[in-house]
Amino acid sequence: MSFPNIWHHRKVADTASRGCEICYKPTTSVLATPGKQDFFYTCVTHLKDKSLCSPIVDQEALAAKKKKEMDEELEKVKKEYEEKQRLKKEREEAKDKKKDGDKEKDKADDEKSKSSDDKEEKLGDKKAPAGTETPKEEEEPRVFALQKNFHQQRVDRKRQAERAKKLREQMRDPNFFPSVPKDQP
């Protein structure tokens, strides 16, 4: 019996942890085939080892994720730009209204608007890095392909277990062993 070389990384409860197939340390990480034909416990550090397995990356999902992130970033920048344009337009309207008034009030208002502009820019600068500083968790790969020799070991072990099971079933059959001769020699 052979199964595809596609292994999904799963986590089990701490109470169900077993020894790693490679280093025998207790672990909760399991690599299992999609049809649950075979599984084995392995440490997370071994999953990063290229001599054991390599991750299978879904390029379409990765491209879709990047496109979604770019669209979100583009929308965010558009909103910021529209907000700045709206504030700029409001300031110009306020200045036009003030031109009708005294010039002394204009000077004081200009200083206030400049200081408020500086404050808004500082707040905008503070907001931008805070939003970009939050690092997104890099998702670890969830699907792996075992190296050729490790996969073959798993297939051989599975075949050997099936042969042993079949032999046990045959041995339960009373006709499996030869009977004692009943004829006279």
Average pLDDT over residues 50-56: 87
Residue 1 domain flag: no
Residue 179 domain flag: no
Residues 6+ apart with CB under 8 A from 20: 26, 27, 41, 42, 43, 46
Q: How far is Cα 56 from Cα 84, in angstroms, rounded to an integer? A: 44
Residues 6+ apart with CB under 8 A from 113: 91, 94, 95
150-165 per-position pLDDT tens digit: 999 999 999 999 999 9
Regarding whether 64 and 35 lie in a shared domain, the answer is no
Share of the chain above pLDDT 90, in %: 38
Q: How far is Cα 56 from Cα 34, in angstroms, rounded to an integer? A: 14
For residue 41, what pLDDT band results from cuts at 50, 70 and 90? Answer: very high
Contact 16, 41 (CB under 8 A): no
Amino acid at 2: S
Q: How far is Cα 155 from Cα 150, in angstroms, rounded to an integer? A: 9
Regarding whether 82 and 117 lie in a shared domain, the answer is yes
Look at residue 135 and tell me whether its pLDDT is greater than 70: no
Residue 181 domain flag: no
Residue 87 domain flag: yes
84-122 per-position pLDDT tens digit: 999 998 888 888 877 766 555 556 566 666 656 655 555
Number of independent structural domains in the chain:
2
